[in-house]
Amino acid sequence: MKYFGGAVRNYLIMLSAYLLLALLMPINRVEAHHYMLSAEAYHVLRFSLALPLAILWLVAFYGAERVRMYARSVAKTPEGKAYAMISKGCSWLAWGLILVPTASLVLKGIVNVSAGFRPTMIIIINYLELLFTIISFSYIATGARQMAAHAKRTYTPTAAISSQVIFIAGGVLYGYLTFRHLDLLSITSTHNPYFMPVWLIIISIIIPSLYAWFIGLLAAYDIILTSQQSQGVLYRKALQLLAFGLVILIGGLIAIQYLHTVSPRTGLLSLSPALALTYAIYMIMMLGFTLVFLGSRQLKRIEEV
C-alpha cells in the first residue's frame, strides 16, 4: 500500500489547496447578481463545482503513482528506462489536471478584482494546458518508442499511412472549429475569444496541440505493438490495458480542447451545458486512468511472480 499512501498524500494536499482557494478567492459580483447569489452562496457553488473533479484527480494520482512503482520495480531491466519515461509522462499528466485548474482559480480571482486582467488570464491558462500536454506525451511517446524498439517492432506501411491520414483529418477538423471563432479579416487581429493574433494561435497553440496528440496516439500504438511481441497472455493484456487507457486519456484531452474551441473560455463562472459536457469528458478520462492503473497493477503482479 506504499504507492497508495504517496498518491493520497499528494492528492489531499492539492485538493485542500484548491478547495481552500475556492472558498477564499474574491467573487465576481456581476455574476453573483446575475445568478441571484449571495457571496456565501457563490463560494459554496464554486466549491461544489470542484467535487466532480476531485474524483478524477484521485484516480489520476493513484494511477500515475502505480505506474511509477512498477517502473521502479523494473528499473534494472532492459525495459526499465522506457517505463521510467512513461511513468514521468503519466505523472505530468496527473499533476497538470489539478495544477491548471488551481492556477485558473487564482487567476480568475484576480480577474474578479481587476477585469482588465481577463485576456492575460485566458492566454496563460491556454499555454499552461498546452505545456503539460506536450511534456506529458513527449515522455510517454519516448518511453513507448523505446519499448517498441526493444521488442523489435516497427510500423507497417499501412499503419504509417493511416496515422498520417488521421493526423491530417484531425488537424483539418481542429483548424475548422478554431477558425470559426476567430476574426480572420486580419491575421494580426486580436478581436477573438483567445485574445491573440491568428498567426500566433496557429503557430503556438494549434500546431503544438496537434503534435502532442499525434505523438500520444503513436505512443499507444507502440505499446500495442510491444504487446503483440509478448509471449505471455497476461503480459500482453496488461500492456493493452495501458495502451487503451492512454487512448482514452488522449481522446478526453482532445474533446476538452475542441469544447474550448466551440465554447471559448470567458474567465467567468459558467453554468451552461458546456460545463456538464466538460465534467462528462472528465469522467471518461477517469476511465482512462483506471485502465492505466489496472494495466500497471497487472504488470507488477506478473513481475512479482
DSSP readout, 76-142?
A: TSTTHHHHHHHHHHHHHHHHHHHHHHHHHHHHHHHHHH-GGGHHHHHHHHHHHHHHHHHHHHHHHHH
Of the listed ranges 79-83, 170-174, 206-210, 242-246, the least confidently predicted one is: 170-174
Number of independent structural domains in the chain: 1
- Using the predicted structure, report yes or no on whether residue 1 has a pLDDT greater than 70: no
Residue whose C-alpha is closest to residue 245's, from 144, 162, 168: 144
pLDDT, residue 84, reads: 92
Angle between helices 51-73 and 39-49 (to 10 degrees): 30
Query: What is this structure's pTM?
Result: 0.85
Residue 267 Ramachandran class (φ > 0 left, ψ -120 to 50 alpha, else beta):
left
Mean of the per-residue pLDDT values of the chain: 81
Instruction: Determine the average pLDDT of the residues in 123-149.
Output: 90
43-102: pLDDT as tens digits: 777 777 788 888 888 888 888 888 888 888 888 888 889 889 999 999 999 999 899 989
Q: Which domain holds residue 74?
A: 2-304
Buried b (16+ CB within 10 A) or exposed e, 102-131: bbbbebbbbbbeeeebbeebbbebbebbbe
Residue with cell 489496472: 294
* Separation between Cα atoms, residue 205 and residue 254, nearest integer Å: 13
pLDDT digits (tens, 9 = 90+) for 232-262: 677 778 888 888 888 888 888 888 877 776 6
Please return the burial class of 157, using the count of CB atoms within 10 Å of its CB with bins 0-12, 13-18 and 19+: exposed
What pLDDT is recorded for position 96? 92
- What is the residue type of 181? H
Q: Using alpha carbons, select from 285, 281, 288, 284 the residue that is nearest to residue 260.
A: 281
Whole-number pLDDT of residue 79: 82
